[in-house]
Amino acid sequence: MDRETARQLKQEARLKKREEKARKKADKVARKEAKKAERRSRPPSALLKEFWNLPNMLTMGRIAVIPLFVWFTYDADPFFSYLAAALFTLAAVTDVIDGFLARRWNMITVVGKLLDPLADKLIVAAALVMMVRLGRIHAWIVIVLLSREFIVTGLRQIAASEGMVIAAGQEGKWKTSLQLVGIVSLCIHYTHPMFFGFAWYPVNFNLVGKFMVYLSTAFSVWSAAVYFQAFLKMLAKRGAPVAPAS
């Protein structure tokens, strides 16, 4: 084989390698583009569809404002105490609104059932812990309230796994209402004049908040006992032998 022929063969080999590399690169780019097109054309999952609706977005908003609420309550400044109370009140109002919209627009979803009670418990727990840090309420009250939430949540999970539905009693609704009013009052904390009828009177919001939270604690323990009693009754009914048909 002469030199000219060997040189031509080497050039042809190099050209083939370049063509092979270019082909592989083009195939790789084509596969990437095909995957991107597939992702764009793929319909969103059912879970994602459930997430992106107004009630669930309002619920996520309540969770998102928790760091801002904690920042407002970090110091005992009267102005920031007002802001913390306003933010907590706004969160409580959105809780009512998102539930109403979900029922009105038939948007009750699995995501909403998970996030709604979670958002409520998170912001209430954050508020109670910050009130303890500021010395506005005793720690044992917060321990009782949070323990009650853990116990009732656990019972609900067990009941749901057994196919049992236990409706919330009126005492639980009173507990929630008193607790929310008490937390807002504790956030304000300071004594401010309030207009009652035809005169202004100074109101110690810390005392009002403590009274409301103490009262809500009593309702909290009561509602937990009622719920536990209802749970035991349902278990007893399920365990009772079925009478034979006559």
pLDDT one-digit tens code per residue, 170-227: 888 888 899 999 999 999 998 888 888 788 889 999 999 999 999 999 999 998 898 8
149 and 67 belong to one structural domain? no
Mean pLDDT, residues 152-170 taken together:
76
74 and 104 belong to one structural domain? yes
- Examine the fold and report which residue of 135, 151, 179 is the final residue of a domain before the chain moves on: 135
123 and 143 belong to one structural domain? no
Is 28 inside any structural domain?
no
Q: What is the pLDDT of residue 116?
A: 84
pLDDT of residue 167 exceeding 80, the answer is no
pLDDT of residue 29 exceeding 90, the answer is no
Number of domains in the chain: 2
Is 12 inside any structural domain?
no
- Examine the fold and report which residue of 80, 107, 135 is the final residue of a domain before the chain moves on: 135
98 and 113 belong to one structural domain? yes
87 and 114 belong to one structural domain? yes
146 and 225 belong to one structural domain? yes
Q: Place 139 in a pLDDT band, splitting at 50, 70 and 90.
A: very high
Is 200 inside any structural domain?
yes
Q: Place 38 in a pLDDT band, splitting at 50, 70 and 90.
A: low
More confident residue, 162 or 77: 77
162 and 215 belong to one structural domain? yes
198 and 124 belong to one structural domain? no
Mean pLDDT, residues 101-106 taken together:
82
pLDDT of residue 86 exceeding 90, the answer is yes
104 and 154 belong to one structural domain? no
Report the alpha-carbon distance of residue 14 to residue 1 in Å, rounded.
19
Span of 21-30, 34-43, 64-73, 112-121 with lowest mean pLDDT:
34-43
Is 13 inside any structural domain?
no
Is 1 inside any structural domain?
no
Is 246 inside any structural domain?
no
97 and 152 belong to one structural domain? no
146 and 115 belong to one structural domain? no
Query: Domain limits at 73?
Result: 45-135
**DSSP output for the chain:** --HHHHHHHHHHHHHHHHHHHHHHHHHHHHHHHHHHHHHHHSPPPHHHHHHSSHHHHHHHHHHHTHHHHHHHTSS--HHHHHHHHHHHHHHHHHHHHHHHHHHHTT---HHHHHHHHHHHHHHHHHHHHHHHHTTSS-HHHHHHHHHHHHHHHHHHHHHHHTT---PPPHHHHHHHHHHHHHHHHHHH-SEEEEEETTEEEEEEHHHHHHHHHHHHHHHHHHHHHHHHHHHHHHHHHHHSPPPPP-
Is 32 inside any structural domain?
no
Is 5 inside any structural domain?
no
- Examine the fold and report which residue of 135, 158, 183 is the final residue of a domain before the chain moves on: 135
195 and 165 belong to one structural domain? yes
Q: Place 96 in a pLDDT band, splitting at 50, 70 and 90.
A: confident
